[in-house]
Amino acid sequence: MKNIIRIIINFTLTVFFAIIVNISAKAQFPAGYKGNPYKDSVYTKGIQWLPGRLELAYYDTGGEGIAYHDKTPQNEGALLNKKAGEQRPGISDYIAFFRKNEGVDINYTKDIADFGHPNKVDPKVNQLFICNQEPGEWINYTIYVNHKGKYIIYTNYSSKDNKPAELWVNNKFSCKLTFPEKTGDLHLWTQSEVGAISFPDTGKFLLTLKCGGSMNFGHLDFLYNDARQ
């Protein structure tokens, strides 16, 4: 009888500590964070899930100092698109002036600027992308990780200086994003593997992109590595 009781107690303790560890792992999301996943009447998905594509224009709501930090208060891409010839025929105001009242600089791929010459890898037509990045700027994304383990990160980008960016998870450094090719112009595009990141558990995480230099890129593709090395 004592052995049975001991087994029951040990099993109960094992389950209890497993629950505590699991709660602890999932409770890493920063307490008091006031940002929220982006959604509007067109983009209704809200939180972005991994594995998959993280669209960088859909950063969290909450504004300067909460969802992002940008050194200029204006969306420089939206300001540029007010100039004659910048808003291409047939392009909606939704695309041309996306999040125009916020500080993160966003533009979209255009026929003359981005497709009037050969690219190593073409970006998607009308792809929203972040631009005018400067060191010290950062952007937050609330994400949901559907598979724990290692992810390989790819992106389509253009670069003048190749300075690496960083990804932080729950306010802790996680990995560098290294862009192996200097394309020489912010409208000459290529595609590369740019990094790898690991998530210790499934669930909600705060992912922060810390900008490194003069880059244009619109998304990060997180490919799940089944080997989980």
Q: Which of 158, 140, 144 is nearest to 204 (CA)?
A: 144
Task: List, for residues 74-101, the tens digit of each pLDDT value.
Answer: 999 999 999 988 888 889 999 999 999 9
- The residue to which tokens 């290294």 are assigned: 178
8 Å CB contact between 212 and 164:
yes
- CA trace torsion 32, 73, 172, 150 (10° rounding): 110
Distance CA 182, CA 184 (A): 5
CA distances from 142 to 25, 35, 50, 104, 137 (A): 16, 8, 11, 16, 17
Task: List, for residues 138-180, the tens digit of each pLDDT value.
Answer: 999 999 999 999 999 999 999 988 889 999 999 999 999 999 9
Residue 2, pLDDT above cutoff 80: no
8 Å CB contact between 140 and 130:
no
Rg over alpha carbons for the chain, rounded to the nearest Å, is 21
Would you place residue 11 in the very low, low, confident or very high pLDDT band (cuts 50, 70, 90)? Answer: very low
**What phi-psi label fits residue 35: left (phi over 0), alpha (psi between -120 and 50 degrees) or beta?**
beta
3-state secondary structure of 25: helix
Residue 26, pLDDT above cutoff 60: no
Distance CA 102, CA 76 (A): 10
Task: List, for residues 36-73, the tens digit of each pLDDT value.
Answer: 999 999 999 999 999 999 999 999 999 999 999 999 99
pTM over 0.75: yes
- Write down how long the chain is: 229
Fold observed for domain 48-224? Jelly Rolls (2.60.120)
Considering the chain, what is the average pLDDT of its residues? 88
Distance CA 113, CA 21 (A): 51
- The residue to which tokens 């005018």 are assigned: 132
